[in-house]
Amino acid sequence: MPKEDSTIFSSYQRDPSLFDEIYDKKGQVKEVYKTLFQLYGGHSIPDYMTLNEKARSSFFNQGITFQVYDDKQMQEKIFPFDLFPRIIDGKEWEIIEKGAIQRSRALNLFLWDIYHEKKILKQGVVPLELISSSENYLHQMMDVDPPGGIYNHISGTDIIKHNDGKYYVLEDNIRCPSGVSYVICNRTALKRALFGVFNHYETHTVTNYAENLLDLLESVKPHGADVPNTVVITPGMYNSAFYEHSYLAKTMGVELVEGRDLFVENDFVYMRTIKGPEKVDIIYRRIDDQFLDPLEFRADSSLGVPGLFSAYKKGNVTLANAPGTGVADDKAVYTYMPEIIKYYLDETPILNNVHTYHCSRPKELAYVLDHIHELVIKPVDEAGGYGISIGNRLTKKEIATVKKQIQEHPRKYVAQPIMSLSVHPTYIDETNSFEQRHVDLRTFTILGKDKDFVLKGGLTRVALKKGNLIVNSSQGGGSKDTWVLK
Amino acid sequence: MLARVANNLFWMGRYIERSEHIARYMHVNYFSSLDAPNELSRSRQFVLNSMLRMIGDPEAKENEVLNEEEVLFKLALDPAHPFSILSNVKYARENANSARDLISTDLYESINKFYHFVLKYPEQHFLKKGLYDFCINIIEMSSILRGRIRSTLLHDEVYAIIMLGVNLERANQLIRIINAKYHDALNAQGSYGDKFSKSFEWTTLLKCAESYDMMRRFYKKTPTSLTTLEFLILNPNCPRSMMNSFNQIYTHIRVLDNSFKYDKDSTAFLVGRVRAEYQYKYVEEIEGNIKEYIEAMLKNLADIGNKMENEFFHY
Amino acid sequence: MSLEYNIVYKAENVYDNPVKEARWQFLIIPEENYNQKLEAITFKNSMEFPYEFSTNAYGFKTIRILAKAPFEAISFEASFKLLKETSNPFDFILPINQEDEYSKYQQLQFKVDHEPFLRKTPLTTLLEHHINFFEYQQDQFVFENLQALNKWVYEKIFYTPGATDVETTLDEMLEHRQGVCQDFAHLFCAISRKYGIPCRYVSGYLHQGNGYFGDSQMHAWTEAYIEDVGWVGFDPTNNLIANENHIKVAHGKDYSDCSPLKGILYSKGSNTTNHSVQVHGQQQQ
């Protein structure tokens, strides 16, 4: 036994008000974490510091970096990675997986409906304003039948565990959810650093994502494409997610293209190769709707492909996700998820939704204004954790500002009770020890024609600043490998 | 393969090759000059001028005294100078980045490490005592890259495009080096009764092309202008020779264009034609007219480059 | 009875710097509908670049050109031969009760069905105090209100070529009360939608034989939805119900859905464009 005071866990402090993922209700280390806890506890601090440094340089050498601009100089940074994995046991995972598929299916039916008969709106189940005031609702998509009937091929569902021990969904990301490449890189980095720990657990692989993605994309190929030609389209190598785009293209074995590599002729899409034009059938697009086609959307966009939309409308090419899918990722739609699931699937939600107050409704607006200190205020249409105010962290002056903003544009804001994200031991550089940090989980779901797939694993994001609840990488978050046990 | 990406890979090959040649030229010239047999070849100004000529920088104006540290910095680590080794490696990496999905993880990691090595190399250490260490590392790392290109990529179009870049650049650099050393040999002659044909600079030239040892093994004599040019330009078995590069270029262009029909506008046709010309050339024809031949060879290479661009990269 | 039209659309682009590559999309072909029949189309461009017909996202026919050789100027010419049925725009029966009629516009199902043409767009948004200039009369039929609106818009703005451009907002335009046909149409749409009457922006050609306003370019008017009747055209620039002189090309939420020429260029520097339209008509039996 190593001496208590020399190990990295010896100074681990537990705040009883937080839900710690590795302890059970009685305060004992959970069965699934026991071995891991012992294995990690056996490392001395310098030993662990070396491992951590190695993992870091592994990311750096692989070029798994994103670019940050400060003081005019471009810097490459790695997405901070924590070597202590998060474990989800098989039974618990089953619920997450079913819940994620249920949501994706329901959202797909919702999208089909609002771009066709609009029954859910006509019956008043959800308000017309969800689409009439959404900038992401594309009238161009009216009555367009996407190949295979799928809109949201790829979804990223953000899930947390509240201090009641239950999972809640915070967001369904169905525009261009990113992060899946980090899931796989995290696994690789952990294996390189601490391969021994895998011998004690039976963990599901995460490297099968790309093959499933290609398989499901090909299941929604356009008519007449017997052997479909798939590509990934990226805004270019200066995009912060470029690594992921190239990773996905490479692991699927397909071309990574930019808009300028494609052109449309007679409503078919072609790419410019060294041997002349080659037809393209399926496009996994990582550019936003507004940039897809300068002839139909933003005319100043050079990222897209002129004429792409008409080729899509003719059914000659599959776009994943379908244009106009973004409307269902508005935070306002999220708040109606229980109704949407009930309406289309006649089921109750498997994963909980956080109760949401709509500032557009006068009664709820009044409640929100009175209870700001115990609510999280979110703008409806911002991504990446921007513009979020957490009530109990605000000064009086800030509360007044937030109130004013809400009153000026009530439709722009929703409010939710402050959810307490569960915490997980995380190695902290500054103190060279493990501390509790808040975590969430992004899962990745793929829908195809009559099939679906959820990656068994996911991106556990960690808010590295003490007490911080915002886990987004753009706001200083890190991540962990996530093990789903067999 | 996408035309744009092919273009990037082609240039990745060229930049990798170019970095190596600059590094070798720098250290070979610098260190051979230290104990060169004649005064002029030993002169700092002479060597620094030669280095600048090799990377295509306008030479110092008459009477302008070049600062050694400035010149070395410019060639190696100057981020503002597009011909510096740092810039070359940076471009190679950017090109690799855009084609990351096509090349192996191994190759990408090596290029990435290469870039970080150059980027982080301490400037003062390089200027005071790191010249040899820096240059040798650049040469070694480019060899690793070439090894990984050969051993971790599928030998298909991607490989052919990269190898076209490598070989076209190698041929280009060789001519530049021949040109620079030809000038040095002209300038250095007479100072100690050295004749042009027996100039010490031919030895340096062979070393710059990493061919000295093999040349000695082949001729078993002190290099002269005639044997040096024959070995470096016409010997197909010398891996650094013009002839060898042309043969490689021909093999790889055939992967992209394997039709054997008569098409005088194709790149493959032009490469074949140029290759045939050198395959059956007498070295005496060249030796008598070095200047003219250097210009002709540069033009041949430029024509091949332009043709390739129009045929394969035009998008 | 019908009219036969010959319409010639011309555009000429001149560029400061040579253009390496370009793609254009023209939305200028008259729509085929119950009273418009297209008999012939010819299209040419001075560079003889290949072109193709396609359909845009809203189902209107387009002409698309792909240019892949350097050029500094290019001109296009399209001509259309079209048969247009003449009809009486007032040929429908008004409903019995004004209140019943208006209440139909308040139903959720109706609002959902017509959502695109009830929506505020950046080009059809007005400040509250500008909207209130026009008052909807509950005791009159929708059609009568729209006629009044047509007249109101016609009187509100002075037709002034060049007074505004695509960037001008309606509110800015109303400060000076000068505008072109697009402004008349947008203002009509904004107010009609504000009162819950679906209204769409229409782009097309106007036969100017009778001294109507319009300036040898494409014309703009509106269509509003009248329950039990359908879409009825209003031309607020001329205070008219759209008639056999109005040849429709496309409709949309506003100008941005209907702009006649969209294109992207791979070139630096600016360019100048000239458009012109000629419409000749003659009676057919």
Chain C neighbors of A307, CB-CB under 8 A = 23, 25, 54, 64
| pLDDT value of position C212 | 67
- Beta-carbon contacts below 8 Å between A and B: 64
Interface contact A61-B109, CB threshold 8 A? yes
β strands within B43-201, DSSP E: none
Q: Please tell me which residue, A474 or A189, carries the higher pLDDT value.
A: A189
Chain C neighbors of A122, CB-CB under 8 A = 108-109, 112-113
Q: What are phi and psi of A225, to 5 degrees?
A: -100, 95
The nearest CA of chain A is from the CA of C194 a distance in Å of 14
Chain A neighbors of B97, CB-CB under 8 A = 63, 237, 242, 246
Q: Does C69 touch chain A (CB under 8 A)?
A: no
Residue A394 has pLDDT above 90, yes or no: no
Interface contact A265-C52, CB threshold 8 A? yes
Q: Convert the pLDDT of each residue in A295-334 to its tens digit.
A: 999 887 788 999 999 999 999 999 999 999 999 988 789 9
**DSSP helix/strand/coil, A115:** coil
Chain C neighbors of A263, CB-CB under 8 A = 66
Interface contact C253-A139, CB threshold 8 A? yes
Which residue among C66, C108, C264 sits closest to A122, beta carbon to beta carbon? C108
Assign A59 a pLDDT band (cuts: 50, 70, 90).
Answer: confident
Which domains, ranges and CATH numbers included, belong to chain A?
99-155+204-347 (3.40.50.11290), 355-417 (3.30.1490.270)
Rounded to whole angstroms, how far apart are CA atoms B202 and B30?
15
The stretch A182-209 carries a mean pLDDT of: 90
Minimal-distance CA residue of chain A relative to C252: A139
Nearest to B103 by CA among A278, A262, A62, A178: A62
Residue A4 has pLDDT above 50, yes or no: no
Nearest to C221 by CA among C197, C243, C195: C243
| pLDDT value of position C38 | 94
| pLDDT value of position B35 | 82
Interface contact A274-B105, CB threshold 8 A? no
**DSSP helix/strand/coil, C11:** strand
The nearest CA of chain C is from the CA of A293 a distance in Å of 10
Q: Which CATH class is domain C98-258?
A: alpha beta
| pLDDT value of position C208 | 79
pLDDT tens per residue, chain C (285 residues)?
788 999 999 999 898 888 888 899 999 999 999 889 999 999 999 999 999 999 999 999 999 998 888 888 999 999 999 999 887 777 777 777 888 889 999 999 999 999 999 999 999 988 877 877 888 888 899 999 999 999 999 999 999 888 888 788 888 888 888 999 999 999 999 999 999 999 999 999 998 776 666 667 889 999 999 988 899 999 999 999 998 889 999 999 999 999 999 888 877 777 787 888 888 887 765
Interface contact A267-C23, CB threshold 8 A? no
| pLDDT value of position B138 | 95
B154-175 burial string, b = 16+ CB within 10 Å, else e?
Answer: eeebbbbbbbbbbbbbbbbbbb
The nearest CA of chain B is from the CA of A242 a distance in Å of 9
Q: Which CATH class is domain C2-85+259-284?
A: mainly beta
Interface contact B109-A271, CB threshold 8 A? no
Residue B193 has pLDDT above 60, yes or no: no
For chain C, give every residue range classified as CATH 3.10.620.30.
98-258
Which residue among C109, C111, C116 sits closest to A139, beta carbon to beta carbon? C116
Q: Convert the pLDDT of each residue in A94-152 to its tens digit.
A: 999 999 999 999 999 999 999 999 999 999 999 998 898 888 999 999 999 999 999 99
The nearest CA of chain B is from the CA of A77 a distance in Å of 13
Which residue among A62, A237, A274 sits closest to B97, beta carbon to beta carbon? A237
Interface contact A274-B1, CB threshold 8 A? yes
| pLDDT value of position B17 | 95
The nearest CA of chain A is from the CA of C232 a distance in Å of 22
Mean pLDDT of chain B: 89
Interface contact B97-A63, CB threshold 8 A? yes
| pLDDT value of position A419 | 84
The nearest CA of chain C is from the CA of A121 a distance in Å of 7
Q: Does A457 touch chain C (CB under 8 A)?
A: no
Chain A neighbors of C116, CB-CB under 8 A = 139, 142
- Beta-carbon contacts below 8 Å between A and C: 61
User: Is the CB of residue C188 less than 8 Å from the CB of residue C196?
Assistant: no
Q: What strand order describes the sheet that includes A413-417?
A: A357-358, A413-417, A375-379, A389-390
Interface contact A122-C112, CB threshold 8 A? yes
Q: Does C57 touch chain A (CB under 8 A)?
A: yes
CA distance to A5, A313, B21, per residue, from A447 (Å) = 50, 20, 52
Residue A164 has pLDDT above 90, yes or no: no
The nearest CA of chain A is from the CA of C57 a distance in Å of 5
Minimal-distance CA residue of chain C relative to A298: C256
Which residue among B98, B112, B116 sits closest to A237, beta carbon to beta carbon? B98
- Count how many Cα atoms sit within 13 Å of the Cα of residue C32 in the half-sphere of its side chain: 9
Nearest to A288 by CA among A175, A374, A401, A445: A175
Minimal-distance CA residue of chain B relative to A251: B101
Percent of chain B exceeding pLDDT 70 equals 96
Q: What are phi and psi of A299, to 5 degrees?
A: -70, -20
Percent of chain B exceeding pLDDT 90 equals 62
Residue A72 has pLDDT above 70, yes or no: no
Measure CA A398 to chain center: 29
The stretch B180-203 carries a mean pLDDT of: 77
| pLDDT value of position C285 | 52
Contact residues for B120 (Cβ-Cβ < 8 A; gap 6+): none
The stretch A207-232 carries a mean pLDDT of: 94
Minimal-distance CA residue of chain A relative to C22: A306
Residue in C26, C68, C112, C194 to test binding to A, most A beta-carbons within 10 Å: C112
Which residue among A60, A237, A272 sits closest to B2, beta carbon to beta carbon? A272
| pLDDT value of position A1 | 39
- Domains of chain B, residue spans: 3-313
The nearest CA of chain A is from the CA of B104 a distance in Å of 9
A396-A397-A402-A406 Cα dihedral, nearest 10 degrees: 90
| pLDDT value of position B6 | 94
Interface contact A295-C25, CB threshold 8 A? yes
| pLDDT value of position B192 | 55
Mean pLDDT of chain A: 89
Considering A55-59, A66-70, A257-261, the range whose residues carry the highest mean pLDDT is A257-261
Query: If you count them, how many residues does chain B have?
Result: 315
Q: Convert the pLDDT of each residue in B28-60 to its tens digit.
A: 988 888 887 777 778 888 888 888 888 877 665
Structure tokens at A371: 């209870």
The stretch B238-256 carries a mean pLDDT of: 94
Interface contact C108-A124, CB threshold 8 A? yes
Interface contact B4-A250, CB threshold 8 A? no
User: Is the CB of residue C203 less than 8 Å from the CB of residue C251?
Assistant: yes
Which residue among C57, C64, C112 sits closest to A128, beta carbon to beta carbon? C112
| pLDDT value of position A381 | 67
Which residue among B2, B113, B161 sits closest to A261, beta carbon to beta carbon? B2
Minimal-distance CA residue of chain C relative to A314: C55
Q: Does A131 touch chain C (CB under 8 A)?
A: yes
Minimal-distance CA residue of chain C relative to A312: C57
The stretch A22-51 carries a mean pLDDT of: 87
Structure tokens at A315: 């059914």
The nearest CA of chain A is from the CA of C90 a distance in Å of 31
The stretch A15-27 carries a mean pLDDT of: 87
Chain B neighbors of A242, CB-CB under 8 A = 97
Rounded to whole angstroms, how far apart are CA atoms C142 and C224?
10
The nearest CA of chain A is from the CA of B256 a distance in Å of 8
Which residue among A61, A249, A271 sits closest to B101, beta carbon to beta carbon? A249
Chain A neighbors of B6, CB-CB under 8 A = 273-274
Q: Convert the pLDDT of each residue in C201-243 to its tens digit.
A: 999 999 877 666 666 788 999 999 998 889 999 999 999 999 8
B18-B20-B22-B23 Cα dihedral, nearest 10 degrees: 160
Handedness of CA A185, A189, A191, A194 (dihedral sign): negative
Minimal-distance CA residue of chain A relative to B100: A246
